[in-house]
């Protein structure tokens, strides 16, 4: 855990609940077990949307997604560090939409869960855990999308 981030407070879970520790032990995520980090056809799907299929335009789109995604994740981390949950909604909403467009389905689902958590009980430990998962998933997506773009261009 990042030493600059506040430690989450203890949460009492029902005995049958999927707690973060049970989640880690089970190798399942909060979402469907079928959720993927990056949809393999995403680069081709994006290319098909571009009328002239210019690889430079596709690269610019990917770069914009990665740059904006980094800002969104940083915004969420700021919200958790500053104990200001109001800073989480807009980045989560934006990241959810752009991630789905770019084929990062698990990241989109995590962002949706964060949105849902903000509109519900606002359990700080759960929200902090989701932001941690989003940060880790975004790192995986960044690598996967760059690799997929390189393979598509080859």
Q: H helices of 53-88, where? A: 55-81
**Tokens, residue 125:** 């430990």
For the chain, list the domains and their CATH numbers.
43-153 (1.20.120.160)
| pLDDT tens, position by position, 3-56 | 454 443 333 333 433 334 433 333 333 344 445 677 878 888 888 877 666 778
The predicted structure's pLDDT at residue 17: 37
- Alpha carbon distance 67, 121 (integer Å): 31
Handedness of CA 118, 119, 123, 126 (dihedral sign): negative
Tell me which DSSP letter residue 6 carries: P
The predicted structure's pLDDT at residue 25: 39
Whether 73 has a pLDDT exceeding 50, the answer reads: yes
Closest C-alpha among 154, 119, 148 to residue 44: 148
The predicted structure's pLDDT at residue 58: 86
Q: What is the pTM of this model?
A: 0.73
**Tokens, residue 147:** 């690799």
The mean per-residue pLDDT over the stretch 72-93 comes to: 94
Neighbour count for residue 146 (Cβ, 10 Å): 14
Neighbour count for residue 88 (Cβ, 10 Å): 26
| pLDDT tens, position by position, 94-143 | 999 999 989 999 999 999 999 999 988 778 899 999 999 999 999 999 99
């Amino acid at each position: 855990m990042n030493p600059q981030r506040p430690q989450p407070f203890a949460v009492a879970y029902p005995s049958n609940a999927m707690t973060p520790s049970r989640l880690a032990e089970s190798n399942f995520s909060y979402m469907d077990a079928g959720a993927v980090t990056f949809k393999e056809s995403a680069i081709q799907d994006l290319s098909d949307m571009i009328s002239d299929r210019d690889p430079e335009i596709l690269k610019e789109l990917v770069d914009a997604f990665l740059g904006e995604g980094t800002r969104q994740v940083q915004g969420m981390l700021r919200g958790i560090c500053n104990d200001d949950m109001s800073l989480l909604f807009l980045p989560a909403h934006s990241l959810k939409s752009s991630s789905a467009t770019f084929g990062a389905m698990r990241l989109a689902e995590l962002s949706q869960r964060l949105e849902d958590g903000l509109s519900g009980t606002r359990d700080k430990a759960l929200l902090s855990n989701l932001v941690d998962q989003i940060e880790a998933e975004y790192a995986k997506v960044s690598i996967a999308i760059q690799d997929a773009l390189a393979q598509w261009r080859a």
